[in-house]
Structure formats: C-alpha cells, structure tokens
Amino acid sequence: MTYTTRRAALQALAWCSASLGFGLPTVTAARAAVAFPKGPVRLRRELVRGLGDGAAIVVTRDWECRFILTARGARVEGRQVAVDVEAPAPLAALAEIERKREVTGLFPLEIDTRGLIVDWPEVSGDIAQAVRQAAIAMDRKAAEQDAGADAKRYLAEIGKTAATLVSQVPRDLFFPQTGELYEQRDLPLAGGVKGSYEVTMLASTKPGRALLDHSERRIVTRVGDSSRVSRESWTIL
C-alpha cells in the first residue's frame, strides 16, 4: 500500500470518528509543541472483539517506532515486532492466519509539531455533542433490527456497529489529550427486547511528558441477558 493510499484510508477512519463524535473531543484545542522521543519506542495495539457469552477474540500487535525529525514535525516509521492472538478453539485456524499476518499501511506516519497526524480532518464539538452523535449511530442500528430476531442476533448486529466505532487510529495517537468519558444509554429495541450500551473513552500520558501512556475506546452492548465487548487500546510500553 502506498503512502497516499494509506493516508486516504486513515483519513476515512478519522472522518468516521469525527462524524460520529468519537475520540476525545479536545483534540483540536490549543496544543503546545511536543518533544519527540530520541530513541525507539514500542507501541502496542490490543483489539478485543466480543463473541457473546463471555467469549472473545483478542489480537495484540507490537511495533518498534522511531521518530525522524522533519521540517513539519516528525516522520514515524514502524516495524511490527510481535503479534499474539487469543481465540476460542473453534476459531484456531483463523487465529493462526492472524498470527502470521503482518499489518502494513499503518506506517509511516507524518506528525506535526503539536503531535497530531498530518492531513487529518479536524474534530470539533464538546463531550455532550460527542455522546449525542455516538448515540445516534448506535440507536439507528438498533432501530433497524428485525423485531422477530432473538436477543443473540440483535446483539451480534449491534455489536458490529460497536466494533466499527472503536476500530480507528486516533489523530493524536502518540500525544493524546488526556481525560475520560463514560456514558450509558438504553437501546431502543423493537419487540419489547431490553438493551443498553456503555461507551468509555480515556487517555493518559507518561508522567511529566506529553507522550502516550495508554488510550482506550470501549463499547459494551447488552441485549436481554447477553453482552458483548468491543475494545481497542494503544499503549507505549
């Protein structure tokens, strides 16, 4: 994948994030120039996709990242150095394929002096607006579901939307605005089925630095007595 193609793909993810109100909404607030790491850092991404009934697929990938100073800020080059996949036994073959796969297209990244990915759509709006827009996406999906479907099918379909919402590369990946957002809402499901979802977003930095320590987006969906978790986290070890 070329840099142009990769950038377009990441922009599409960011645009989805902006339009749905996800990502810490203070990302475009006034930011000071950041200090880029002089040596390599190890970046970890963990994806959790709930399958229902407590089962989940967990994919963890590590990259060794280096910051090369440029006139605009820095160019981040990354090399995948580790991958681990946890999955239920029936999905062992799929898990093995994922272990052997090397993710391409994420790097290199261009970062400006404020620590934001270059050529990224601006994200605006306060926390209340972000929650409202996220609610619209989840509620719309819930309203589309067949009233005759059972709870597990409801959960599977709504869980797909939740997984899409958390699967994105934050514009401020390496130098996030810190904070936490939590919201819980009922799902407007048809046929008298009861459901709800919880949205959690948080980010922290290394002590005394602007560099990422840990960030996470998590959505827990509940339909009837069943629940499903979709989570993505980024950590610099």
pLDDT tens by residue, 45-56: 998 887 766 778
Q: What is the pLDDT of residue 95?
A: 84
The structure's pTM equals 0.75
Q: Which domain holds residue 150?
A: 3-236
Q: How many CA atoms lie within 13 A of 21 on its CB side?
A: 18
Residues paired with 73 in a beta bridge: 112
Q: What is the pLDDT of residue 111?
A: 93
Q: What is the pLDDT of residue 62?
A: 95
Q: Which residue has the tokens 């994030």?
A: 17
Q: What is the pLDDT of residue 17?
A: 38
Looking at the structure of the chain, the number of domains it has is 1
30 to 123, 153, 214, 228: CA distances (angstroms): 13, 44, 21, 37
**Residue 118: how many other CB atoms lie within 10 Å:** 15
Q: What is the DSSP string of 142-175?
A: HHHS-TTS-HHHHHHHHHHHHHHHH-S--TTSSS
Structure tokens, 114: 């404020």
Radius of gyration of the chain (CA): 19
Q: What is the pLDDT of residue 221?
A: 82
Tens-place pLDDT, residues 134-170: 556 666 666 665 555 565 666 666 666 666 666 677 7
Q: What is the mean pLDDT of each run of 10 residues along the chain (237 residues)?
A: 42 36 47 90 92 80 96 94 90 84 84 88 46 60 59 65 69 87 76 78 91 90 80 93
Rounded to 10°, the helix 151-166/3-20 angle is: 120
Q: What is the pLDDT of residue 71?
A: 92
